[in-house]
Amino acid sequence: MKSMNYQKYAAYPVVDISGRSWPDNTITQAPIWCSVDLRDGNQALPVPMSVEEKVVMFQLLVSVGFKQIEVGFPSASATEYAFVRRLINDKLIPDDVTIQVLTQSREHLIRKTFDAINGVQRAIVHLYNSTSRLQRDVVFRKNKEDIKAIAVEGTALVRRLKDESGNKGIYFEYSPESFTGTELDYALDVCHAVMDTWGASADEKIILNLPSTVEMSLPNIYADRIEWFSRNIKDRKAVLISVHAHNDRGTAVATAELALLAGADRIEGALFGNGERSGNMDIIVMALNLFSQGIDPKLDFSDLPRIRDVYCRCTRMFIHPRHPYAGELVYTAFSGSHQDAISKGMKAHVSSSDGLWAVPYLPIDPQDVGCTYEAIVRINSQSGKGGMAYVLEKDFGIQIPKWMQPDFAEVVQGIADTTGEELTPEQIHDLFYSEYVKLREPVTLKKCHFSWDDEDLSRNDEEATIISCVVQTKEREFSFDARGNGPLDAFVKGFITESGLDFSVDEYAEHSIGHSARALAIAYIKIGCADGRISYGAGIDSNISLASIKATVSALNRLP
């Protein structure tokens, strides 16, 4: 095997921190959420959203419950600027929602940003400049003091323009962009200079956003960085620590969750993890992770199908079918053992008294996010008897007894193996009917009448039921009259006597399909022949006695 050139990569440095507290902490409440779908998410789209699409997305985010929404980079393009003005001029921003606008720490961009938010009730001006060693050395070719000066000069201008506007609803956020590539002591030094320039206090907090602009380490190392920063910031009460995690290593949600344990107050992210490269932290996943632990996420994802639809239409992106919580297949089970466990768990949940969700393989109730139970179990060649039984019972009211489930499972799996495709509930239903209910050969029941001796229904002796039947086989047509302790017993005795086939009824079950006066009855039967053959059958009729006889005929027709 060829060895990959791993030697070209250096390990990310660990944090020199002792007595870290975050591993012992627990999350007990939701953070302050900020959606960056309309800015960071939008700039990563092959086809960025139009103003109208951004309005639709903004309204979706408001309906979900976001109170802080980064709406764009108004100095970057005419579309971004026009969208911000649209929100303000058309009064589309609810009183309890604060929009956020991004700007680099450059004078003309900052001034353009303030033009864009003129007249807004509440807004966060989000200033950033890159502070990482790599960017300092390679991109900007500036030293640490030069880079810090950029942050301080931009902060001073934002402060002055806010004061000149007289708008007390303007707040300030600063990001040492590429925080994960910045030395911790230097990031702290820059943030202290920004705090001093802004005049941060407990009464006028500053948001310090510490982004994992490129995810470069294990989530626990990022958590160490956040705890170190929170310990060493000079006036913690004057600061809201925010994190903005990207997903380059595939652990953005874990990064944000551990950052919350480490002291972060605020989380930036996007729906379905949209964003540059591998995307941003997925707010839906993190919020529903909290929800699954009994914590109010303060966001409403109870209608994920609607959210999914709006997102796909506005962004022209698709959602992976295995996407946590929201994917098309996440509430399905193809494996037979999983299907059986889910079926049993659902039944147990209905009868439980504590109301707590506890169903195998389903971390949350699909109904809580607008999904339905109908899609939980789907059938293919990997499916088991429990899954097929669940589908028939849930969708059609057919409750195949356990002793018959392996027989039908073999039939279904044979079809699935042949086609190599998933079977729909309707296909499974039709297969059940064709395999058991509709069989008419080689035995056909042409006529069947039964009565009670002397019509005395109170009689309890074993020969009270009289049956008269006409039966057609491949060889001949014959009729018989017989007595038994019920219609089924009488039919079996008469058929054995007339046909010469020696068999017994080994298993029997019945139930109604539906609850009205016109409900049908279904019977299931297992017969065993004297020569060792066994067979299963099912019959449906408005009369349960006829259903049981039809089930017997079905089993006779399926004898190997």
Long-range contact pairs involving 45-54 (C-beta distance under 8 Å, separation at least 24): 45/274, 45/315, 45/316, 45/317, 46/316, 47/316, 48/79, 49/314, 49/315, 50/79, 51/79, 51/82, 51/83, 51/86, 53/313, 53/314, 54/83, 54/314
Counting DSSP H helices and E strands in the chain, the numbers are 17, 14
Residue 143 CB coordination number (10 Å): 11
Half-sphere exposure at residue 483, Cβ-oriented, CA atoms within 13 angstroms: 7
Angstrom CA distances, 249 to 210, 230, 262, 319, 456, stand at 17, 24, 20, 19, 80
Secondary element (H or E) of residue 184? helix 184-198
User: Nearest to residue 126, comparing CAs of 62, 191, 170, 185?
Assistant: 170
Residue 376: pLDDT band with limits 50, 70, 90: low
Q: What is the pLDDT of residues 195-216, one digit of tens each?
A: 999 999 999 999 999 999 999 9
Amino acid at 473: T
Reply yes or no on whether the pLDDT at 261 is more than 70.
yes
At 2 the pLDDT is 86
Q: What is the pLDDT of residues 126-153, one digit of tens each?
A: 999 999 898 898 888 899 999 999 999 9
Per-residue burial over 259-286, b if 16 or more Cβ lie within 10 Å, else e, is bbbbbbbbbbbbbbbbbbeebbbbbbbb
Per-residue burial over 441-463, b if 16 or more Cβ lie within 10 Å, else e, is eebebeebebeeeeeeeeeeeee
pTM (two decimals): 0.77
Q: The tokens of 353 are what?
A: 């008294």
User: Nearest to residue 383, comparing CAs of 310, 349, 333, 420?
Assistant: 333
Reply yes or no on whether the pLDDT at 328 is more than 80.
yes
Gap between the Cα atoms of 338 and 328, Å rounded: 17
Pairing status of strand 520-529 against strand 534-541: antiparallel
13: which DSSP letter?
P
Amino acid at 136: R
Reply yes or no on whether the pLDDT at 375 is more than 50.
no
Range from 48-52, 57-61, 467-471, 482-486 carrying the lowest mean pLDDT: 482-486
Domain boundaries, the chain: 31-315, 336-436, 444-557
At 467 the pLDDT is 93
Residue 491 CB coordination number (10 Å): 27
Gap between the Cα atoms of 255 and 243, Å rounded: 9
What fold, for 444-557? Double Stranded RNA Binding Domain (3.30.160)
Per-residue burial over 74-100, b if 16 or more Cβ lie within 10 Å, else e, is bbbeeebbbbbbbbbeeeebeeebbbb
Of 177-186, 379-388, 510-519, which has the strongest mean pLDDT?
177-186
Reply yes or no on whether the pLDDT at 555 is more than 80.
yes
Secondary element (H or E) of residue 501? none
3-state secondary structure of 209: strand
Cis peptide bond N-terminal to 23, omega within 30: no
Please provide the CATH number assigned to the domain covering 31-315: 3.20.20.70
Secondary element (H or E) of residue 441? none
At 245 the pLDDT is 97
3-state secondary structure of 104: strand
Q: What is the pLDDT of residues 275-311, one digit of tens each?
A: 999 999 999 999 999 999 999 999 999 999 999 999 9
Residue 536 CB coordination number (10 Å): 25
At 107 the pLDDT is 97
Secondary element (H or E) of residue 162? helix 144-165
Residue 459: pLDDT band with limits 50, 70, 90: low
Residue 355: pLDDT band with limits 50, 70, 90: confident
Gap between the Cα atoms of 102 and 110, Å rounded: 9
Reply yes or no on whether the pLDDT at 374 is more than 70.
no
Q: What are phi and psi of 425, to 5 degrees?
A: -55, -40
At 416 the pLDDT is 82
Residues facing residue 508 across a β-bridge = 525
Angstrom CA distances, 531 to 200, 504, 528, 555, stand at 92, 11, 8, 15
Task: Judge if 31-315 and 444-557 fold alike in CATH terms.
Answer: no
Which residues are CB-contacts of 367 (< 8 A; sequence separation ≥ 6)? 373
Q: What is the pLDDT of residues 393-444, one digit of tens each?
A: 888 999 999 999 999 988 988 888 888 887 888 999 999 999 999 998 999 9
**Residue whose entry in the numeric block shows the structure tokens 């060889």:** 475
Reply yes or no on whether the pLDDT at 518 is more than 90.
no
